Structure 1
Amino acid sequence: MPFYSKVLETSCAKHVDKELRASHAGETGAVWIYRGALCAEFLLSLFIIGNRPSKTKPFIHEHLRTEKSHLAIFEHEMPLFRGSFLLPAWIAAGFVTGLLPRLLGHNWFFYTIYCVEQFVDKHYEKQCSSMIMLSEPPSNVINRFKECQIDERHHRDEALSLMTEQPTLLMTLWGKLVGSGSSLAVAMAKLI
C-alpha cells in the first residue's frame, strides 16, 4: 500500500522509507530480545530445584506479544519500504540483548528493557517530529509510530517499577552500551 510514493515528493518518500526501515529493524530486534529472554528462562529452569515461579516470564510473554503486534504493523499496515539488509544482525543483537541480562538476573533484565525502551521512546519522538516537518507529512505513518511509542513508554515504566535494586555500576555501563548500540543500529538501518 505505497500511498505516499504517489503523493509525496521523492525526497519525502526517501525520508519516510528510511524511518520505516529503521523502526522495522528495531521492532524486529525487540521481538528477538524477548525470544532471547525466553531462551534464558528455559536455561535457568534447568538449574532451578523446586517449582518456583519466574518473576519475569509473564512480563516477557506479555511484551513479546506487544512487540510482535508492532512488527505486524510494519509488515502489513505501513506503506511499502525497503527493509534493512542487516536484519540478521539485528536479530542476533536482539537475542543476545535479551539472553545475557536475563541470565544475570531479573534486575539486569528489567534494567536492560528500561534502557532499550528509553532509547525507543526518544527515537519515535524524533521520527515523528521530523516527519511532521515534511511538506506532505504521512499522517498514517506518524499516527502508527505514536501508537507504538505509547506501548514502548509503558514497557519502560513497567520495567523500571519491577526493579528491586538500584542499578550497579556494571549495569549502568551495560545500559550505556545498549543505548549506544541502539543508536548505531538506527543509523546503520537507515543506510543499509
Structure 2
Amino acid sequence: MSYYSNRAGECLSKDVDREIRASHAGETGAVYIYRGALFAEFILNVVRPAKSNSESYAFICEHLHTEKQHLAIFENEMPQFRGSILLPLWIAAGFVTGFLPRMFGKNSFFYTVYCVEQFVDEHYENQCQRLSSLHNVPPNVIDLFRLCQKDEQQHRDDARAKVTCSPNLAMKCWGRGLAIGSSLAVRFAEHL
C-alpha cells in the first residue's frame, strides 16, 4: 500500500489529482472492509465452528480480490498523484466497517456492503462527470474509473441479493451513517 502511484511523468491538474486521491483512499478503505470482515469471519469460526458460513466467506474473498485489483490499478496504472495523508485513518475505518457488521451477522454485513457500494457507485459517476468537463485529463483515467465503477455496481447488487431480511431501523441508521461518513471521508481525502 503506497501513498502514490508508481507511474511518473505526467503532471496532473489539481482537480484530477484530487479525484484520483479520493478514489485511491476509497479503494484502500474497501480492501480493509473485506480484511476486517475476514478477521470477523475467522473469530466467528473459532467461537462457533459448527455455524461457519461458507457463503459469506466466499463473498468476502471474492470481493477482497476485486478490491485489491482496483487498488493495484490506482497504484500502477493511474498517472502519478499525491495520496491522502490520512490513509492510516481510512485503513482503520475500513477495517471497523467490515469487522463490526460481520460480527453482528451476515445480513448486517451484506447490508453494509450494499450501502457502501451504493455510495461508491454514485461517487464514481459524479467523478466521471466532473472529469469529463475538464481539459487535459489523461485518457485512461475516466476509463479506469468506469471499470472500477462497474465492479462496484456488481458488488452492490451481489450484496443486496444476499440480504435475507428487510433492513430494520438499526440497519437503516447504520446505512445512513455510512453514507454520511463516506461523504465526509471523500471531502477530507480530496484535500488531505
Give the TM-score normalised by the residue count of structure 2. 0.93
Matching residue of 1:98: 98
Matching residue of 1:54: 54
Report the Cα offset of residue 55 of structure 1: 2.4
Q: Secondary structure at the match of 1:18?
A: helix
Kept in 2: contact 1:108–1:171 (CA 8 A): yes
Matching residue of 1:118: 118
Q: How does 1:141-152 map to 2 (within 5 A)?
A: 141-152=141-152
Kept in 1: contact 2:45–2:51 (CA 8 A): no
Percent identical: 58
Q: How big is each residue's C-alpha offset from its partner over 1:64-116, in whole Å with a ceiling of 9 and x where there is no partner?
A: 00000000000011000000000000000000000000000000000000000
Kept in 2: contact 1:55–1:106 (CA 8 A): no
Report the Cα offset of residue 52 of structure 1: 4.2
Give the TM-score normalised by the residue count of structure 1. 0.93
Report the Cα offset of residue 2 of structure 1: 4.5
Name the CA shift for 1:52/1:187 in 2 (closer, same or farther; >3 Å): closer
Task: Return 5+ residue gaps in structure 2 as ranges.
Answer: 1-6
* Matched residue count: 186
User: Using the alignment, how far apart are the partners of 2:190 and 2:49 within structure 1?
Assistant: 46
Question: Hey, which bits of structure 1, 4+ residues long, moved more than 4 A?
Answer: none
Kept in 1: contact 2:79–2:138 (CA 8 A): no
Report the Cα offset of residue 54 of structure 1: 2.9
Name the CA shift for 1:146/1:45 in 2 (closer, same or farther; >3 Å): same
Report the Cα offset of residue 18 of structure 1: 0.4
Report the Cα offset of residue 143 of structure 1: 0.2
User: Using the alignment, how far apart are the partners of 2:191 and 2:51 within structure 1?
Assistant: 48
